[in-house]
């Protein structure tokens, strides 16, 4: 049986009324119901001149031409020499960097993009500062090696001067003890110097 257009319209109106009730009640729509709503917006009246797209989304004809030339994903193609407003809405919804749409033209699109870039730069600065805080200046490392080297040289010179007379006439076991004490003293000095060098305020 063939259904006339008037009957189809009545059925659609009833379906939309039921969908509206579900939305107001906070219920989740089925896939078919969402598809019905999406499909209802694709009407011939959605085909508009490019000038209208430029005005609504606050973009330039040059931008549209460039996106199409570069093959930017999602950019709507012309239909019978006209622009599909619905598809342009979908494009800007999924490409926030290309433009913004909330039902009204946005004159501050460029300023928002600049603000986004500024935030990204500040985040990078914070990350860099954290990295710098975990690093040690090369000059500090060099100074530490110089100071440790000075302590080692001073200790070795002291041992060379003190050990020969201290070991003279001593038994092997006594010599080993004297040498061990002298070495332990040098190691203690090195440990104390190292602690001073890397002490964090």
**Residue 144 domain-assigned?**
yes
Query: 30: part of which helix (H) or strand (E)?
Result: none
Does a structural domain hold residue 156? yes
| pLDDT given for residue 94 in this prediction | 78
Domain count, the chain: 3
Rounded Cα distance between 78 and 75, Å, is 10
Per-residue pLDDT tens digits for 91-135: 887 776 665 444 444 455 566 667 777 888 888 888 888 887 777
Cα–Cα distance measured from residue 173 to residue 153, given in angstroms and rounded to the nearest whole number: 27
45-76 pLDDT per residue, tens: 588 999 998 888 888 888 899 889 888 888 99
Residue 118 lies in a domain: no
Q: Are residues 51 and 36 in the same domain?
A: no
Asked whether residue 114 is assigned to any structural domain, the reply reads no
Instruction: Look at residue 143 and tell me if it is in a domain.
Output: yes
Task: Examine the domain organization and report whether 21 and 61 are in the same domain.
Answer: no
Closest by CA position to 77, among listed 104, 47, 106, 97? 47
Beta strand residue intervals within the chain, DSSP E: 47-48, 83-84
Tell me if 124 is assigned to some domain: no
Examine residue 62 and state whether it is found in any structural domain, yes or no: yes
pLDDT tens per residue, range 138-175:
787 788 788 888 888 888 888 888 888 888 888 888 88
Containing structural domain, residue 189: 138-197
In the structure, what pLDDT confidence band is assigned to residue 185 with cuts at 50, 70 and 90? confident
C-alpha distances out from residue 91 to 13, 65, 157, 183, Å: 28, 15, 79, 77
- Is 180 a member of any domain? yes
Based on the fold, state whether residues 149 and 193 are members of the same structural domain: yes
Residues 6+ apart with CB under 8 A from 149: none
The tokens 């603000």 sit on which residue? 115
Residue 140: the pLDDT is 77
């Amino acid at each position: 049986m063939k259904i006339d257009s008037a009957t189809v319209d009545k059925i659609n109106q009833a379906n939309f009324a039921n969908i509206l009730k579900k939305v107001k009640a906070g219920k989740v729509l089925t896939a078919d119901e969402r598809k019905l709503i999406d499909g209802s917006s694709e009407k011939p009246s959605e085909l508009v001149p490019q000038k209208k797209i430029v005005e609504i989304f606050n973009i330039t004809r040059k931008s549209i031409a460039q996106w199409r030339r570069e093959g930017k994903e999602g950019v709507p193609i012309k239909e019978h020499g006209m622009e599909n407003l619905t598809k342009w809405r979908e494009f800007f919804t999924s490409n926030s960097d290309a433009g913004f749409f909330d039902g009204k033209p946005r004159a501050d699109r460029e300023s928002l993009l600049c603000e986004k870039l500024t935030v990204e730069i500040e985040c990078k600065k914070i990350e860099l500062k954290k990295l710098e805080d975990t690093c040690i200046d090369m000059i500090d490392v060099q100074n530490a090696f110089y100071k440790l080297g000075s302590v080692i040289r001073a200790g070795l010179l002291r041992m060379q001067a003190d050990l020969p007379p201290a070991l003279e006439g001593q038994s092997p076991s006594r010599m080993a003890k004297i040498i061990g004490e002298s070495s332990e003293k040098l190691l203690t000095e090195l440990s104390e110097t190292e602690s001073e060098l890397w002490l964090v305020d």
